[in-house]
Structure 1
Amino acid sequence: MSNWVKTILFLVGSALLTHWIPSSFFRNLDTMVHEFGHAVVTLALSGKVMYIELYADHSGVTYSSISKSWSIIPVSLAGYMTASIFAWFLFSAYAKGKQRLGLQVMIAISALSLVLFVRNGFGIMFLVGFMALTIIVLALTPNWLRDFYYLLLAFLCLEESVFGPSSLILYAWQNSRSAGDATNLAMHTGIPAIVWAIGFTLFALWCAKQGVQAFLGRSKGARSSSRQSGAAAYRD
């Protein structure tokens, strides 16, 4: 089975599984990372981030000002691309057995977002609640529960990182002015919003493929180690 087929199956499977689990609250993690990406690139290009708002419907917005018009292009690119890379990072960390690092990175991004950027009521509530729960899981729970929590977040980020930009294709098709970041890019480059939406989706799928490969590589390695351990015990 090709890696692309495996990726699509993982995405469909994660969408089904995560909708059976009460996971609405945690879906805001992907939104937080998306908006954090906008904010960091804005600051890197000497812009000013006024504030970020996160909403209960898993949407968000970053209010910022930039001094150079061309800066809107990398800033607009940053949101979906950061979310896609973050999902890849979570699975790569899991493949290396570094779930604690992954959770610590989530806490760090949440803390920075809370202190520097997020100002609306729901956004603050989400960040405080998410950080508190993640710290408890990291510090007090057994490994199996920590791993379950980590994988739940990783699969949610994987799903959201792909289905988020793919929905832009539909929005851009119906109304090119309602496609968020793709619309901003279209206005400043002359390239249609639907092209940018497709580009975001293809990049997200590529990152998802890398993440799935890392996840499956760890699972395969674990099974191989188990078989080798069993053989050694038999010879003894």
Structure 2
Amino acid sequence: MIVSETAPSAGATASPPPATSLAPHMSTLADWPAQLWDRVAAAQDPVGWQVSLLLAAVVLAVIWSPGGYRLVRHLVTLVHEAGHAVVAALAGRRLQGVRLHADTSGLTVSRGRADGPGMIATLCAGYPAPAVAGAAGAMLLGAGHAAAVLWILVITSALMLLLVRNLYGLWVVLLLGATVGALSWWATGPVLSAAAQLVVWSLLLAAPRAVVELQRQRRRTRGGDSDADQLARLTRTPAALWVGLFWLVCVAALALGGWQLLDGAPWPWG
């Protein structure tokens, strides 16, 4: 489309635009960080334990369906690789990049010593990361901070964008971050609380299954290069020991997070 403008004739004086015409826009832009912080820090009424239990049942049904688990596994893999990246950075290793694949697998590459405590800690961080994140999210939900849970996921996605080195991984992170960000900005309080519950339950319930899948894969491909196999070679201990440790951490986080999310439920022993 072409837009033409007519210049004022000779001797005519063009009227200057109103001095305050941009003020509302500038005010809106200036207030945006405060509005965002208010949105993140705002408290939402937690859902009751009955609703939380229902959402947990929905997530469990999704996770144990082939297509549903594949979808949730993208979220779990993102947090898994973020766990590797955070611990690698804290251990002084230099991050080279992260790759997220269509088969829901992932890879984090860092540079540093090929052995030692830093490498061991980096390898240990992956499988427990979703469970630990889920337990932390449950604590935030218990305090009424559902929006904070979702915004932490948005920030994680934004940081992972700087590290992802393949096109499919970029697509996954962008889609997840944009969807959760839009939901966090426009959704009402009850919707925010329900969405955050779904995210937290997904992390808590999918993390133990991911460890079970790890052990099944190890049985099919002996002498592989999984986190547990690499830890076994570095520490000269059985890989099954590390798989068991991952599973115990995930189950403990599920118990802790579930206790928090179902606070008020009539437990049989209570």
2:263 match: secondary structure: helix
2: CA distance between counterparts of 1:141 and 1:23?
25
Q: Is the 8 A contact 2:79 2:129 kept in 1?
A: yes
Q: Is the 8 A contact 1:168 1:179 kept in 2?
A: no
* Cα displacement (A) at 1:64: 1.6
Give, as a single letter, the amino acid of the residue that structure 2 aligns with 1:74.
A
1: CA distance between counterparts of 2:69 and 2:146?
19
- Alignment partner, residue 139 of structure 1: 185
Match of 2:153 among 83, 106, 118: 106
* Cα displacement (A) at 1:148: 2.5
* Cα displacement (A) at 1:202: 0.9
- Alignment partner, residue 31 of structure 1: 77
Give, as a single letter, the amino acid of the residue that structure 2 aligns with 1:108.
I
- Alignment partner, residue 261 of structure 2: 215
Matched, 1:15 2:60: yes
Q: Which of structures 1 and 2 has the bigger CA Rg?
A: 2
1: CA distance between counterparts of 2:69 and 2:210?
16
1:151 match: secondary structure: helix
Gaps of 5+ in 2: 1-54
1:145–1:22 Cα change, 3 Å: farther
Match of 1:183 among 222, 225, 229: 229
2: CA distance between counterparts of 1:204 and 1:191?
21
Give, as a single letter, the amino acid of the residue that structure 2 aligns with 1:16.
A
What are the equivalent positions in structure 2 for 1:61-80 lying under 5 Å apart?
Answer: 61-67=107-113, 69-70=115-116, 71-80=118-127
2:103 match: secondary structure: coil
Q: Is the 8 A contact 2:140 2:146 kept in 1?
A: yes
More helix by share: 1
- Alignment partner, residue 24 of structure 2: none
Matched, 1:60 2:93: no
Q: Is the 8 A contact 2:207 2:250 kept in 1?
A: yes
Q: Is the 8 A contact 2:62 2:69 kept in 1?
A: no
1: CA distance between counterparts of 2:134 and 2:110?
25
Gaps of 5+ in 1: 1-9, 221-236
Aligned residues with identical type, % of pairs: 23
Give, as a single letter, the amino acid of the residue that structure 2 aligns with 1:202.
L
- Deviation by residue 1:79-138 (Cα, 9 ceiling, x = unmatched): 1122221011122211221111111111111111112x1121111111111111111111
RMSD across aligned positions (CA)? 2.4
* Cα displacement (A) at 1:63: 1.4
Match of 1:47 among 81, 93, 102: 93
* Cα displacement (A) at 1:172: 3.3
Q: Is the 8 A contact 1:92 1:211 kept in 2?
A: yes
Give, as a single letter, the amino acid of the residue that structure 1 aligns with 2:82.
F
Q: Is the 8 A contact 2:99 2:107 kept in 1?
A: yes
**What's the TM-score once normalised by structure 2's chain length?**
0.71
2: CA distance between counterparts of 1:44 and 1:122?
27
Q: Is the 8 A contact 1:168 1:194 kept in 2?
A: no
* Cα displacement (A) at 1:169: 2.5
Number of residue equivalences: 210
Q: Is the 8 A contact 2:83 2:126 kept in 1?
A: yes
Matched, 1:92 2:139: yes
1:176–1:191 Cα change, 3 Å: farther
* Cα displacement (A) at 1:155: 1.8
